[in-house]
Amino acid sequence: MVEGSASRRRTLLCVGLDTDMTKFPADRGSGTDAQFLINREVIDGTKDHAAAFKLNMAFYESEGEEGSRAMSRTVSYIREAAPECIAILDGKKGDIGNTSEAYARAAFVTMNAHSVTLNGYMGSDAVCPFSTYKDRLSFVLCRTSNKSAGQLQDRGAPGEPVFISMAKLVRSWNTNGNLGLVVGATFPDELKAVRSEVGPDMLVLVPGVGAQGGDLGKVLDMGTNGRGSGVLINVSRDIMFAFQRPQNMGRGIEECAREAALDYKERIRSHLEALGRW
């Protein structure tokens, strides 16, 4: 699904819809439809340059019933207005088997999302109920971009930290070919190790480029396969809040998001061409 869209549209960009309503001006951050209307502007501005949109569920759940409606409407709008893009619900779910089955129904049936992020700490019981939906994608946390991630993820036997063990497990669970991994852009050497472990075809969702300081070039060097694919590079704040840059003051959300997304798309393309992978 993603590989085909990325190849046809020549983009690896995932636009993060981290729609934190506390960060918007008062005239945009209020009203029952405000969150969805902001998302619609960002989607309209970036859909020609993106392969995916990722909704961080915390920013919707924190808005109560209105946020839940905005999340559902946003997924529907992505399917309608950007049919070649996928909608990822970033909730990092994962629980005992029957609970994960319910989470999977919520994401893939009720919300009709294309994809989710999962926490695989509880093992295959937490992950496999999602992968039974053969036309949907699930990304399992592997080596995350937050500063304290190494407290657990770097531990383990010499030569095999926990994040490598997780990569191996997800590879073994991937019987339907619809599991991927989450590896943060702030750890390019670990991304290289994961790519080596899982082979060229497993899709890796890479957050952390932009505001978190991940190096785009290193992500492309370490994470892409010989076809210049295999990763989705998520950028959230640098695109959604591009309108807040000093040089963009007075300009609209949609216009600024479009320019920022195009810039990332072109930077990705240029780097992969230099590597001979595009």
**pLDDT tens figures, 16-51:** 999 999 999 888 877 789 999 999 999 999 999 999
Tokens of 137: 């994608």
Lowest mean pLDDT, pick from 46-50, 118-122, 144-148, 205-209: 144-148
Cα–Cα distance for residue pair 128/140, rounded to 1 Å: 11
Strands 137-143 and 115-118: parallel
pLDDT tier for residue 5 given thresholds of 50, 70 and 90: low
Taking the model in full, what pTM does it have?
Answer: 0.94
**What is the CATH code for 2-275?**
3.20.20.70
| Domain regions of the chain by residue span | 2-275
Tokens of 74: 């946003």
Catalytic residue, candidates 92, 93, 218, 265: 92
**pLDDT tens figures, 55-110:** 999 999 999 999 999 999 999 999 999 999 999 999 999 999 999 999 999 999 99
Nearest CA among 173, 165, 264, 251 for reference residue 210:
264
Our answer to whether residue 92 is catalytic in this structure is: yes
Q: Which residues contact 76 (CB under 8 A, 6 or more apart)?
A: 112
pLDDT tier for residue 7 given thresholds of 50, 70 and 90: low
**pLDDT tens figures, 227-265:** 999 999 999 999 999 999 999 999 999 999 999 999 999
Mean pLDDT of 267-278: 94
Mean pLDDT of 9-13: 86
Q: Is the pLDDT of residue 1 over 90?
A: no
Q: Are 153 and 140 in contact (CB under 8 A)?
A: no
Nearest CA among 16, 29, 25, 13 for reference residue 57:
16
Lowest mean pLDDT, pick from 22-31, 161-170, 202-211, 235-244: 22-31
3-state secondary structure of 162: helix
Q: Is the pLDDT of residue 4 over 60?
A: no
pLDDT at residue 6, rounded to an integer: 54
